[in-house]
Amino acid sequence: MTDVGELRPLVLFDGTGDDQLGELCSLGTELTFAPGDELFREGRPADSWWVLLEGRIDLVRHLGHEETVLGAMDVPGRWAGGFRAWDEHGVYLATGRAATRGRAFRVAAPALRAWSTSWFPFGVHVIEGLVRTARNFESVARQKEALASLGTLAAGLAHELNNPAAAAARSADALGTECEVLFSSVGELVTAAISPDGFTALDGLRRELEPAPAGDPMAVADREDALAAWLADHDVPRDWLLAPALAAGGADPAWCDRVAAALGRDALDPAFAWVASTLSATALLAEVRESTRRVSELVAAVKSYSQLDRASMQRTDVVEGLESTLVMLAARIPPGVRVVRDHGPDVPPIQAAAGELNQVWTNLVDNALDAMAGQGTLRVCSRRDGRGVLVEIGDTGPGMSPETREHAFDPFFTTKGVGEGTGLGLDMARRIVARHRGEISIDLRPGETVLRVRLP
């Protein structure tokens, strides 16, 4: 057992009276350790105060995927931990691992606080003030990270919007060119003095064609070559421009023979130009329609995700919120991650602040994507649970350690580096769910880590 005589020479206790040291000795215990012993772990509640008496303890921390020695307790009197004496959320900042044999003096954080308050009340107030200041600074830093994450989310959304918007703009420009060709070919048909019956026959043959899937590239190329050869043989200029559009519409040399039989050789040039331009215009209109539909879907997803036009508490469709979250995070989902949706047919609407719940889904999905590191399966499930709803978000990443699972919902606990993640944290997610009178839990299954949220 550690006595006053062993603590008195330590610089740490300069100015501390024997009575004070005697009381401290009665509150603590002495612990011996051997090389490799782990005395305390990074991220765990700092509920003990450690003072080195003899030996060496390395202070190790995980930085990224590597373990780094940040420092060492190698001189008697050096100390670590005990932060929960001043801060109910205090955690160890590093792992204490014995490098040699030795001894340490350990005092429980509540006992340390009681002893300090009894003998040094002013010092306790100063320490608590410092802890609150540090906590406030950390909170501001987290908010900055959240804003940076919001910027990343906005950039991803802008990317998602830019693709269909750019496609629509390109198609609209090309459509203008095709319309000019269409108008000029109609004029050339009139100049060629095509009869009404001939134009009716040409229009009927045109209606037989429609843009088809590209299919085998080699087969399409062969069809284009055959059409170009037919057009060249019949003295139709621009065969290399007309053949691709006609081939895309399903035309072949036999169809071209029918056009020639209906119109004669002199009207073939404006006839094929007119048919090709109508096919191209139809295809471009389809591209514009699809692109603008995609933009509308993205805007609707953003509107659903933000809930800016709705009351804070309302009847909320949980499935809609989950799907809009997946749309918002689409740019974050790598090609190697497969998304599996499993929504029950009878998921009931619930009374909730939809925007807040969407923030929870964002955090859980983002954590799952980080855990899988680009490869795996993301499972998003919702179903009726009694009179409420159960939501499960699972990932096939490497799993969660018991220590991480135990402290995952602690305030400011994180396994990510600075600037990574959403800045929300599972603690805030838990608080949002609690405000909805629900509960959130972690279910570790073989090959899958699942976050479960129950909402009434």
Q: Rounded to 5 degrees, what angle do the CA atoms 108, 110, 115 make?
A: 95
Q: Name the more confident of 257 and 419.
A: 257
Instruction: Tell me the average pLDDT of the chain.
Output: 81
Higher-pLDDT residue of 243, 138: 243
Would you state the pLDDT for residue 411?
A: 62
**Domain ranges for the chain:** 4-119, 160-297, 307-455
Residue 424 has pLDDT above 60, yes or no: no
Mean pLDDT of 308-331: 76
Whether 98 has a pLDDT exceeding 90, the answer reads yes
pLDDT at position 155 over 60: yes
- pLDDT tens by residue, 44-80: 888 999 999 999 999 988 765 567 788 889 999 998 9
140 has a pLDDT exceeding 80: no
CA distances (Å), origin 107, targets 33, 42, 307: 16, 18, 51
pTM score: 0.44
User: CA-based Rg of the chain, rounded to a whole angstrom?
Assistant: 36
For the cut 90, the answer to whether the pLDDT of residue 85 exceeds it is no
Q: For 368-403, how does the pLDDT look when each residue is reduced to its tens digit (9 = 90+)?
A: 888 888 888 999 999 998 888 999 999 988 877 777
CATH of region 307-455: 3.30.565.10
What CATH number has the domain spanning 4-119? 2.60.120.10
Average pLDDT estimate for 196-204 = 85
- Neighbour count for residue 86 (Cβ, 10 Å): 20
pLDDT value, residue 32: 94
Average pLDDT rounded to a whole number, residues 22-48: 91
